[in-house]
Amino acid sequence: GAGVSQTPSNKVTEKGKYVELRCDPISGHTALYWYRQSLGQGPEFLIYFQGTGAADDSGLPNDRFFAVRPEGSVSTLKIQRTERGDSAVYLCASSLEASGGPLYNEQFFGPGTRLTVL
Amino acid sequence: AQKVTQAQTEISVVEKEDVTLDCVYETRDTTYYLFWYKQPPSGELVFLIRRNSFDEQNEISGRYSWNFQKSTSSFNFTITASQVVDSAVYFCALIFTGGGNKLTFGTGTQLKVEL
C-alpha cells in the first residue's frame, strides 16, 4: 500500500513569509509525528498527534510553529514569519497508534519536505 | 534527560569489509526501546531494528547484527561483508516509555562503502 507522503518535496521561501507543509499518513494510522532534521543532525521531534489532538507538542521551538490534524488523517505543519534558521528537512511519520506505555508501534517515515528560507 | 550519542561522524570502508557503528544511550527509564534507522541519499528513513530494554539477546539478520549491552548502555550495529548499497547515514534512536512515542535520535554516522 501507499506509504507516508509529504508535499511539497521542496519549498523555497523568503524570510518573514508563511509556509504550510502537508503530510498524508498511511491509511488507518491514528498517530502522526513531525520531526525536523537540520543539516548533519539527526531528526528532532516537534509534535505528535493521536487522532485529531496534539498529544505532545513539546518539541515545537516557538509559537511561530503550529500543526493541525482536523480530521485525524492529513496533517499540516504551519510556520509563520519564517526565519533562516527554520531551513531544514521536515519529516513526517505515522504509526498505527501511540502509547505512553510499554507498547510500541513502528513509525513509518515520509520522504520529507526540504524547506529553504532565503 | 534522554540522549543518544553516535561518536563516529563518518566511516569509510572498502567493500566486503566488516564495519561496526557505535551507539551509546542515556535514559533514567527502566523500560525503553532502541532503534536503528538507515537514511540513504534519497532521504527517507528506513527502519532496521528495534530492541526493548528487557531483551538483551543479540540479533542477526542477514549481514546485519546488533549487540545490545545494558551494562555499558550501548547498542552497536555491525554490517558484515559491506556492500556499496550500504552507503548511507545510520541513526540510532531511543523511545522511553515516560515520553510518549517520540523518538530521540543520535546525530548519525555516515557510512561510505567504496569498491
Contact at CB, B101 and A110, closer than 8 angstroms: no
Average pLDDT over residues B9-32: 94
- Which residues have C-beta within 8 Å of that of residue A17, sequence separation ≥ 6? A81, A82, A117
Confidence at A99, pLDDT banded by 50, 70, 90: low
Contact at CB, A45 and B98, closer than 8 angstroms: no
From chain A, the residues in CB contact with B97 under 8 A are: 100-102
Q: How far away is chain A from the Cα of B61, in angstroms, using its nearest Cα? A: 18
Are the CB atoms for B67 and B79 separated by under 8 Å?
no
Average pLDDT, chain B: 92
From chain B, the residues in CB contact with A98 under 8 A are: 100-101
Chain segment B69-98, per-residue pLDDT in tens: 999 999 999 999 999 999 999 999 998 876
Q: How far apart are CA B18 and CA B23, in angstroms?
A: 17
Confidence at A101, pLDDT banded by 50, 70, 90: very low
Q: How far away is chain B from the Cα of A100, in angstroms, using its nearest Cα? A: 4
Average pLDDT, chain A: 91
Percent above pLDDT 90 for chain B: 70
Contact at CB, A31 and B99, closer than 8 angstroms: no
Chain segment A24-82, per-residue pLDDT in tens: 999 988 899 999 999 999 999 999 998 899 989 999 999 999 999 999 999 999 999 99
Q: Quote the DSSP letter at residue A101.
A: S
How high is the pLDDT of residue A115? 98
Name residue, grid cell 546525530: B107
How high is the pLDDT of residue B97? 72
Distances in Å between the Cα of A79 and the Cα atoms of A16, A22, A76, A82, A108 are 10, 12, 10, 6, 23
Q: How far away is chain B from the Cα of A83, in angstroms, using its nearest Cα? A: 23
| Closest in B43, B100, B108 to A56, CB measured | B100
